[in-house]
Structure 1
Amino acid sequence: MRLPLLVTVALLASVTAIFEDQVGKFDWRKPLIGCPTRVQFDKVGSKSDRLLVSTEQSILASLVLNTGKIGWRKIMENSEEATNGLVFTKDREYIYSISQDGRSVRVWNKQNGMLARQMIISEEKSTIQAIHVTKEHLFVASGKTLIVFRLGEEKHIEKKVSTFERTFSAYFAQENSVFHVSAKSGNSELEIVEYEDDASPKTVKQLKLSSFKSENCQYNTQFISCFQGAQLEIGDVFTQKVHKISLDFQIQSIETSGKLVLARGSQKTEVIEVTPANGAQVRKSLDVSSSDAVGITENHESIVVSSSDAIGVIFVNSNNHFSAKRVQNDQKMENSKTKSIFARKNEKDWEIVLVGEDCRTEFVTVDEGSKVVNFEWAREESLINTVSVEMVDLPLSESQQMIEDEFEEAGQQNIISAFIRRIQSQFGQLCRQITKNVEKVIYVVTSVARDGNSVSDFINSVRSAGQSNSASGPFERDYFNLRKVIIVVTSSGTVFGIDSSDGQYLWKLWLGETFSPLDSRINEKRVPLFVQRTTAHYQLDGLASVIFKNKDTNNGVIVSFNPMIGKVESRNELRYPIKRLSLLPVHTSKHVYPVILIGKNDEIKIFPPISPEELTSTSSSLHLLDLQQESIQGLKVDLSTQNIQAVWQGNLGLSSDDEIVVIKGKSFNQKVHSQGRVLVTREVQYKYVNPNLAAIASINKATQQLTITLVDIVTGQIVHSANIGKAAEPIHLVHSENWIAYSYWSEKGRRTELGIIELYEGSEEQHQQKDIFDSKIGQKLPPVVTQQSYIYAQGVEAMTVSETEQGLTTRSILLAHPTGSIHEVSRRLLDANRPMELTQAMREEMMIGYMPEIAVATEEMINYNQTVHRVRGIKTSPSGLESTSLVLAYGTDLFFTRLVPSGTFDILKDDFDHVLISLVLTGLVVGSYVSKRLARSNALASQWS
């Protein structure tokens, strides 16, 4: 009996030792929580503390106070209307939060974040919410509903629904009494409802504040403070008294906590203390600049003032104060000013959480004795608002620059100078290689002398020497160009440079307080990012530009910077708002691709300017597609004269109920490896590769009809139009080569469906010069269109296609699921030409028969079990290997990995043992030579005998 039990235990123990292959070797993940709106300090036993944080992105999280790492995180339903984050409160054991747009209350365990219970409030959504917990009851207000629960129970014991919609809602507590204060729209009289010990409403009172506006008011445990101009009103909820104070400056904002109120102006801040005996009195007057942040500590006895170089603590009821200097951050990490402060005093020092305008969250401690600010940790939470991503190659290494120098001026030199130049270049490469090998030999000898002299120790030393120059090596391009700099732009006004090898921040750029994203008819927030010059030209630095608008003037702003170090090269502010912008497909003499900016009144600016000599006949004009209310038109921009004229106009058959949701064109630098597709009959079906083709997806919500129209933006010709009935959002679309893939929600089938449209010229090539496609040359025959639909068992949040350097590798479509998985679907599966029945010839060609379902296999998830929540976009970029594509998915989390759609056919596997195969080959060579000598000696001896 004991033997089977022992075997079973041994088998179960071995199962726990199975891990995914190569986990974390080529990928990394950054979990984020968002921009904090509420931060509370909380104790965990008697040793360590934590921070309870709710954010603008409806996320509730617990952060370890010592490290800043996420203890647990709960991602709620994303509400676009709520901008103040989750409303929550806590007691000793649980956290109580209002979720589902005010329709339910969720109770969470503080230790591990597990959901304890959920209670229903109402069926109506509301952003006006309040919550309060006592020893026995939980009070919740959401919209028109006031509801009371007994702790530990899911059924309410008291519920009251008003007839009016509230614009303000808050709870106040005094001893055993709980008060709820609310306001109607346009009414300055606040209604106060008092609850007795049994949680039943007792009395209704009124509190009149003449300057009451919910956006200009703040409240704490007892008082409601409102401002208007230089007038400050503080209403006592318990006594219904109103204290009025007139200040000598215009109040811009107020902050209140406990008995203190901070009234802040442009250059001055008044600290007001409110007590039942003395009323409201000004205790302190602080001279602070607009870049300084001011906050009240948790004990309500002191004020914290934070600036870029110091943090000061001012005691309210005494003249004591002190200031501690902050250590200057690295110049590569340019941060914004602080907007919120959460602070408390513990036994040893002051603990302060600083939240910047760019959502950067810092935790620092201040020692009152040494007056030193100790930086503990920081989290860059603005990455949760990523809107634009580009990947830039690293600079060339020294040996690669030598190779480029060797052939740079080969055509302009005579044979003698070219020969001398080659000898010098190759001699330098030889010296560099000898130096590297000497360093490896020294490393191996040192390792063997330190660790041991066995054969295994020697092999391990050689392997370590070969891996020493890995991703953590110098900041230069690796052999296969797999390591890149990821440029990330957020809607919070920050630009990051991230190392793709491990996700470390290389630099950070703050775009200023006046930053605002551009307006877009389709996307709400748009901050275009363009790489104008790559690092391929090693004599010149790379150049990238980000375009946004000034929120004060609405005029366009373009900021150019070096993508390797984040240094700003120029900042140009236009005199007009930006209506259209595009990257030109022609470069200047300095290898910079200019950006054309078109203003509201068709003003044109090309940055940097391009001379007429640099324009050719094929690049002197640019064609754009302009969207109107119910029509579209094609515009032609003459770059030499900088004039705009309308070429054509059409309506696409759209009605007032139709809404354009997606417009996708093809990148001008996309490469198509094969111009045709070989059929089973050995005929070639040539692809219709039109670089001027735009795919427009529109939805009619009244008739539930999805229309996909392919338009040539040069001539206005409608190449193809497809209608899909009973369709609804979300709709995603990708446009690559000669095909368009899209996804939509089918109302008829109650499922997600994928569609594919492919265009071919037929079996006869109609364009003789395929490198220069001319839309004005009429086609002999219209394109042959094949299309097909497939059933997909998951929802789709984002969609993109893989990119490789030469376009030789079979492309894959990446689909992000609402569950946090990213599925790789091969282009061979999402094919419009999959036959219904396979013939023998088709089987020999390895064709796949048509099946209506696209299988969702777990082994095809490129992020395996590393969940990526709320994916908004996926960026792909080619590497130096044709088989490998680099992928970055961004949303609530960032996830980076490598993708090999057709396998690693151009490189050995990463676990290939080079040392062992070298030793085996050496042994075989030596063994064959020794065997040859022995055989010769044996034959000679046999002849003598």
Structure 2
Amino acid sequence: MRLLLLVTIAIFASVTAIFEDQAGKFDWRKQLVGCPAKITFDKVGSKSDRLIVSTAQSVLASLVLNTGNIGWRQIMENPSGSTNGLTFTKDREYIYSISEDGRSVRVWNKNNGVLAHQLPISEQKSEIQAIHVTNQRLHVASGRTLVVFRLGDEKPVETVISKTELTFSAFFQQDDVVIHVSALKNAGKSIELSKITEDGAFEPLKTVEIKDFEPKNCHVQEAYLSCSTGSTLQIVDIFRQKVQKIQLETEILEISGHGPLILARGAKNAQIVEITAENGAQVRKSVDIGAGEALGITENHESVIVTSSDAVRVVFVNSATHFSAKRVKMAENLENSAPKSIFGRKNDKDWEIVIVGEDCHVEFVTVDQNSKSVNLEWSREESLITAVSVEMVDLPLSESQQMIEDEFEDGESNIISAFIRRIQVQFGQLCRQITRSIEKVIYVVTSITKNGNGVADFINSVRSASGSGSAASGPFERDYFNLRKVIIVATSTGTVFGIDSADGRYLWKLWLGEHFQPLESPFDGEKVPLFVQRTTAHYQLDGLASVVFSNKLTHNGVIVSFNPMVGKVVSRNELGYPVKRLSLLPVHTHKHVYPVMLIGKNEEIKIFPSITPEELSATTPYLYLLDIQSQTVQGLKIDISSQKITPVWQGNLGLTAQDDIIAVKGKSFNQKVHSQGRVLVTREVQYKYVNPNLAAIASINRADQHMTITLVDIVTGQIVHSASIGKAAKPIHMVHSENWIAYSYWSDKGRRTELGIIELYEGTEEQHTQKEVFDSKIAEKLPPVVAQQSYIYAQGVDAMSVSETEQGLTTRSILVAHPSGNIHEVSRRLLDANRPMELTQAMREEMMIGYMPEIAVATEEMINYNQTVHRVRGIKTSPSGLESTSLVLAYGTDLFFTRLVPSGTFDILKDDFDHVLISLVLTGLVVGSYVSKRLARSNALASQWS
């Protein structure tokens, strides 16, 4: 019985370890909370050990104060456009937040973030929100609705619905008195004060007049409402129902404060205004501040903190003393923006300060008054939550790879010099290999000396020596299979990151400036186009990448070029006009740089870097312009030599005024198609219609919910195919690759998500003899043969992408991101328009899959297993040096990186293949066979003598 129990336990243990040895080895995940809008220090016992953070991305989180790690995180519904974060308050045990755009209140446990209650407020959405908690009641204001709950009860004590829309709402408390302040939409410059009685009723108190009242210029603190108009500061004492006015020296740009202190910031200084019962409001002190400095006040009201990118100043309110402490300079390749807001408190020993930058960089520092030092405890790069563009760049060639390139790039015709050069290169490679072998031997000997001299210790030391040069810890050079890359991420907050794909660590950071503004896309919203113009394949030249954005002041386009390996800016050019269209040209200069072409609103053309007509003679760039308002598409021909744009064709695609264009997808010019045809069961070849100039345009008719996908040749304007799908609605996602278009949509008729596929073929005769130089202007004999099919998909879709490999040989997979946080790998063999309804014997021999209306969603096909990735906005794939392996980065609220093998690792040994053991076994067999041969010969000789 005991033996059977042990065998059963061993079997279960082996089953659970099948995937655990791979989890986290080739993938990593970065969890983010977003750009903090509100931060409060939360005390547990006698010290503060966590931060309660509300972010602009509707995330409520608890951060461990000592490390900055996420204690817990709650992701709410998608933000409706407000950057003020969630409205929340807290008491000793719970956090109360207004969620669902003001329609409910959620009560969270502070220790673990578990949802305790959800209280309904109203059915109407509203951004005018306020919440306040006392020892007995919870007061909530959302839009026109005012609700009072008794703590612990789910039914409200009192509900008041205003007849007029509110433009301002806030709660104030002094002792046990709670007053609600509101401003009606058509009430002009007055605010209404209402006292909340013990039974929860709202008792009107008084109407207070405020000159030029504007809610966005007001600040709410414990017992005061302060508003600014030019250089005039108006302070409303809520509990005395008085309005005090103070005329300051300069115009007020921002108001903040805590307790009886108000900070009125101007262009060059900030006035500290103190409110007392005896003297009213008076200016206590003036603090000089610069343009790149942020200021705030500590929770105990005794000091004002002014911070910049290189120093922290502490100004005491009740005395004339102040001191400044210099911050430690960041690494040269990590460039941060100026601070935007600070949150601080004073404890017994020092000041604890949270600094939030313009680029959403969050730092927690402590300032010691005695040593006048600033200690950086931790930092978080929260701007990655706004990632909009991603590219992957190969690492530079290693020394041995450069030697090989030098060997074969020698153009000398002299055979003697070529032979000598080859000998030199081979000798250099031999020396390099010997050096590495000696280092491994020294490592093994040292490990055995420290750990022991058994056989197991020897094997472990050899394994460690083999893995000591791993991608994560090895030199910054290309690995043998080109699996390690630099991930370039551009965000909508004005930062560009270089991330190591091996472990997700930051290599460099580039801040694009305080006047940064992303470009606007009619389909994707904010966009920061990112282009890789020169890779590291040319080892004599550095890589080159560029980002394009807009200047916030002039609205003109700006292009910044940088080295993608180190993040060093190469050039920064500002155009004299806004950018209307931009594209990466499919030709390169003599320095192997693919130029970026920018087109302005008045058809101005700029190319970075410049290119000669001779270099462009191989091809003529064609572009298309899509007018969303008029529903028209225009084809353009670019003449680089004359810097002119020539219209070639124009059409309206047959759309009506009820049709809305919702998505456009083209194909990348560097996409590789390995097989030009598809072999049928009848042994005929069905040739693919591979048109690099094909664009897929999706539109929906508002009247009858009809979706149309139109395939247009942008060179000639020819409509290649038009597909119609009935009863379709948003969200729509498309993927365009090779000769097929995959798409997803919500079916109103079936009340489900469906996946569709459109495949185009030329037929069984190849119409273009040279597929590499596909020419849209060559007349085709027959129109393409189109196959179309739809499948039921039992999950929602947030994003779609397709796997990419180096030669396009591996079967492609479609990656589908779910709202639940999973990323599903759907094989192209399943999403096939030619799956037959009935299988014949010949089809079964060809391993064809019969048609079924549903695509199964299996848990083992989730590439992120249990690593949930929330709110995925995009999935970037990139080929590696292995044809079987594709690299994948999913970005949204989280970042997730992994490797994908759609057809299995057919070109490499399995990861758990034990090279050391097999080498020892082979060595033992060779030695054993030699010894056995000698013994057999001795025995044969002895037997003959006997």
So what's the TM-score if we normalise by structure 1?
Answer: 0.98
Q: How does 1:496-507 map to 2 (within 5 A)?
A: 496-507=497-508
- Specify the SS of the correspondent of 1:938: helix
Tell me the residue number matched to 2:311: 310
Whether contact under 8 Å (1:81, 1:127) holds in the other structure is no
**CA spacing shift, 1:896–1:775, aligned 2, 3 Å:** same
Structure-to-structure mapping, 1:217-616, within 5 angstroms: 217-409=218-410, 411-471=411-471, 472-616=473-617
Stretch moving more, 693-702 or 598-607: 693-702
Amino acid at match of 2:117: R
Within 1, Cα distance between the matches of 2:16 and 2:680? Answer: 49
Please say if residues 710 and 718 of structure 1, whose CA atoms lie closer than 8 Å, have aligned partners that are also in contact. Answer: yes
Written as runs of structure 1 = structure 2, the 5 A alignment for 1:606-645 is 606-616=607-617, 618-627=618-627, 629-645=630-646
Say whether the 8 Å CA contact 2:37–2:83 is kept in structure 1.
no
Opposite residue 342 of structure 2, the aligned amino acid is I
What are the equivalent positions in structure 2 for 1:824-863 lying under 5 Å apart? Answer: 824-863=825-864
Separation in 1, partners of 2:488, 2:608:
20
Aligned match of 1:211: 212
Following superposition of structure 1 onto structure 2, how do residues 63-102 of structure 1 map, counting pairs within 5 Å?
Answer: 63-102=63-102
Residue number in structure 1 paired with 2:655? 654
- Summarize deviations over 1:269-290 as a string: whole Å, max 9, x none: 1111112221111111111111
Q: How far apart are residue 44 of structure 1 and its match?
A: 2.5
User: Structure 2 CA distance, aligned partners of 1:741 and 1:206?
Assistant: 61
Per the alignment, residue 58 of structure 2 pairs with: 58
1:39 partner letter: I
Q: Equivalent residue for 2:115?
A: 115
Structure 2: gaps spanning 5 or more residues: none
Q: Distance in 2 between matches of 1:224 and 1:210?
A: 13
2:784 aligned with 1:783, yes or no?
Answer: yes
What secondary structure, in the 3-state scheme, does the structure 1 residue paired with 2:443 have? helix
Q: What's the secondary structure of 1:383's corresponding residue?
A: helix
Deviation of residue 18 (structure 1)? 8.1
Q: What is the one-letter code of the residue matched to 2:56? A: E
Q: CA deviation at 1:82?
A: 2.5
More deviation, 63-72/622-631:
622-631
Counterpart CA distance in 2 for 1:18 and 1:766 is 50
Task: Using the TM superposition, give the Cα deviation of residue 7 of structure 1 relative to its aligned residue in structure 2, in angstroms.
Answer: 12
Quote the offset at 1:855 in angstroms.
0.3
* C-alpha separation in 2, matches of 1:731 and 1:542: 36
Q: Is the 8 A contact 1:701 1:728 kept in 2?
A: no
Q: How far, CA to CA, are the matches of 1:684 and 1:236 in structure 2? A: 84
Asked if 1:917 is matched to 2:921, the reply is no
Deviation, 1:623, is: 3.4
Any conservation in 2 of the 1:303–1:313 contact (CA below 8 Å)? yes
Name the residue aligned to 1:772.
Answer: 773
SS at match of 2:771: coil
The one-letter code sitting in structure 2 at the alignment partner of 1:364 is V
> What letter corresponds to residue 612 of structure 1 in structure 2?
P
Contact 1:177–1:197 (Cα < 8 Å) also in 2: no
Partners of 2:349 and 2:149 lie apart in 1 by 40
Per-residue displacement from partner, 1:873-892 (whole Å, max 9, x unpaired)? 00000000000000000000
1:657, CA displacement in angstroms?
Answer: 2.1
- Please list the CA deviations of residues 631-686 of structure 1 after superposition, one character each: whole Å capped at 9, or x if unmatched: 11111111222210111111111122211111111100000000000001110000
Q: Is the 8 A contact 1:207 1:237 kept in 2?
A: no
- Residue 802 of structure 2 is matched in structure 1 by 801
Distance 2:129 2:537 in 1: 55
In structure 1, the partner of 2:727 is 726
Q: Which amino acid aligns with 1:36?
A: P
What is aligned with 2:24? 24
Distance change (3 Å), C-alpha of 1:218 and 1:642: same
Give how far 1:822 is off.
Answer: 0.1
Give secondary structure in 1 for the equivalent of 2:385: helix
CA separation of 1:421 and 1:4: change in aligned 2, threshold 3 A = closer
Please tell me whether the aligned partners of residues 355 and 361 of structure 1 are also in contact (alpha carbons under 8 angstroms).
yes
SS in 1 for 2:860: helix
Number of the residue aligned with 2:888: 887
Deviation at 1:861, TM superposition (A): 0.1
| Cα pair distance change 1:915/1:631, threshold 3 Å | same
- Tell me if the contact between 2:747 and 2:754 (Cα under 8 Å) persists in the aligned partners: yes
- Between stretches 708-717 and 211-220, larger displacement belongs to 211-220
Give the whole-Å Cα distance in 1 for the aligned partners of 2:889 and 2:509: 18
The secondary structure found in structure 2 opposite 1:465 is helix
Residue 203 (structure 1) shift: 2.7
| Structure 1 consecutive aligned stretches of length 4 or more whose deviation exceeds 6 Å | 1-19
**What's the CA shift for 1:248?**
1.7
Question: Is contact 2:309-2:337 (8 Å) kept?
Answer: no
- Is the Cα–Cα contact under 8 Å of residues 225 and 256 in structure 1 kept in the other structure? no
User: What residue identity is the alignment partner of 1:749?
Assistant: G
Distance in 2, matches of 1:15 and 1:676, equals 42
Letter in 2 for 1:368: Q
With over 3 angstroms needed to count, the CA separation of the structure-2 counterparts of 1:672 and 1:693, relative to structure 1, is same
* 1:866 to partner: Cα distance: 0.4
Structure 1 alignment gaps of length 5 or more: none
Native 8 Å contact 1:622 1:639 kept in 2: no
Q: How far 1:19 sits from its partner (Å)?
A: 6.3
Amino acid at match of 2:45: G
Is residue 49 from structure 1 mapped to residue 49 from structure 2 by the alignment?
A: yes
Moved more, 636-645 or 109-118: 636-645
Q: Check the 8 A contact 1:219/1:257 in 2, yes or no.
A: no
Letter in 2 for 1:852: P
Supply the distance in 2 between the matched residues of 1:8 and 1:684 (Cα, whole angstroms): 53
Q: Which moved more, 1:177-186 or 1:85-94?
A: 177-186
User: 2:821 maps to which residue?
Assistant: 820
Paired residues of 2:42 and 2:48 also in contact (CA < 8 A): no
Q: Does the residue aligned with 2:320 lie in a helix, a strand or coil? A: coil
> Which SS does the other structure have where 1:707 is aligned?
strand
Distance in 2, matches of 1:919 and 1:102, equals 68
Tell me, what secondary structure is at the counterpart of 1:101? helix
Q: Secondary structure at the match of 1:83?
A: coil
Q: What CA distance in whole angstroms lies between the structure 2 residues aligned with 1:731 and 1:20? A: 36
Amino acid at match of 1:747: D
The 3-state SS of whatever aligns with 1:836 is: coil
Deviation of the 1:916 alpha carbon: 0.8
Give SS of 1:612's match: coil
Provide the TM-score with structure 2 as the length reference. 0.98
Secondary structure class of the residue paired with 2:839: coil
In angstroms, what is the RMSD of aligned CA positions?
A: 1.8
Aligned residues: 943
Q: Distance in 2 between matches of 1:13 and 1:927?
A: 35
- Cα 1:787–1:15 change in 2 (3 A) is closer
5 Å-filtered alignment, 1:709-748, equals 709-748=710-749
The Cα offsets for residues 898-920 of structure 1, whole Å up to 9 and x where unpaired, read as 00000000000111110111111
> 2: CA distance between counterparts of 1:402 and 1:2?
62
Residues 631, 661 of structure 2: 8 Å contact kept: no
- Whole-angstrom distance in 1 between the partners of 2:72 and 2:802: 33
Q: Which residue of 2 aligns with 1:146?
A: 146
Conservation of the 8 A alpha-carbon contact between 2:622 and 2:715: no
Is 1:936 paired with 2:937? Answer: yes
Q: Give % identity.
A: 75
* TM-fit CA distance, 1:583: 0.2
Farther-moved stretch of structure 1 (862-871 vs 47-56): 47-56
Indicate conservation of the 8 Å contact 2:387/2:490, yes or no.
Answer: yes
Alignment partners' CA distance in 2, 1:470 and 1:895: 20
Amino acid at match of 2:399: E
Contact 1:211 1:226 in 2 (8 A): no
Which one is further off, 11-20 or 228-237? 11-20
Distance 1:71 1:441 in 2: 44
3-state SS of the aligned residue for 2:851?
A: coil
How much has 1:620 moved relative to structure 2? Answer: 3.7
Task: Give the distance between the partners of 1:318 and 1:259, measured in 2 at CA.
Answer: 16
Q: CA deviation at 1:14?
A: 9.8
